[in-house]
Chain A
Amino acid sequence: GNSVTQMEGPVTLSEEAFLTINCTYTATGYPSLFWYVQYPGEGLQLLLKATKADDKGSNKGFEATYRKETTSFHLEKGSVQVSDSAVYFCALRRDDKIIFGKGTRLHILP
């Protein structure tokens, strides 16, 4: 079946540190891949997406590359800020539904 596995949190980093949140997926074919972010008390916002192999999605300094060989879509940012503290969800789309990972809570310390 289709599933998404992402690293468990919480992840705690100091401001300006490098961030990686690992995400791997299982799916038939080549689904579109997404990272969503959820700030405290809010809904999900689309952070970035990639629709085919080797595509790189990027937004607000975050990047993720669709790796077909390793079925991965790891999220990276070179220098995190306190305002990046949130829960990050990796997801794939299969037909009409989005399948989410369990989320990774990120804490950035000043």
Chain B
Amino acid sequence: NAGVMQNPRHLVRRRGQEARLRCSPMKGHSHVYWYRQLPEEGLKFMVYLQKENIIDESGMPKERFSAEFPKEGPSILRIQQVVRGDSAAYFCASSGNSLQETQYFGPGTRLLVL
């Protein structure tokens, strides 16, 4: 049973470009969560999605960041007009059909903005 998949694992962007991070949840999981880890910090919650719905985006920056989880295909975290402060590791997690179920994390995408 494949775990949570994320790609790319490493992404380099110049300031002003767009970054697209993809996450495929574990098989059978319908809940996806995105977290950001700044250097030497713990993970911070960004957004929680179910298929075609954003359930909780209380941790998302108000501008430039968006997330989706379409009916078909992976979840996408999109960062427009990246700035150096966006450099971080972005982790996706997935869980089954209940909020009580364990969240399983992917390997992360490490974004570097030059």
Contacts and interface: CB of A to CB of B under 8 A. Distances in A.
Contacts of A97: 33, 45, 48, 56, 58-59
B114 interface: no
Contacts of B59: 97
Interface residues of A, number: 21
A45 B105 contact: yes
Contacts of B56: 95-97
A100 B103 CA distance: 13
A35 to B, nearest CB: 12
A13 interface: no
Interface string B4-16: 1010000000000
Interface in B91-114: 91, 93, 99-100, 102-108
Interface of A: 4, 32, 36, 42-46, 49, 89, 91, 93, 95-103
Please give me the 7 A-B residue pairs with the lowest Cβ-Cβ distance, nearest first: A100-B42, A97-B45, A43-B107, A44-B105, A96-B48, A102-B42, A43-B105
Interface of B: 4, 6, 31, 33, 35, 40-45, 48, 55-56, 58-59, 91, 93, 99-100, 102-108
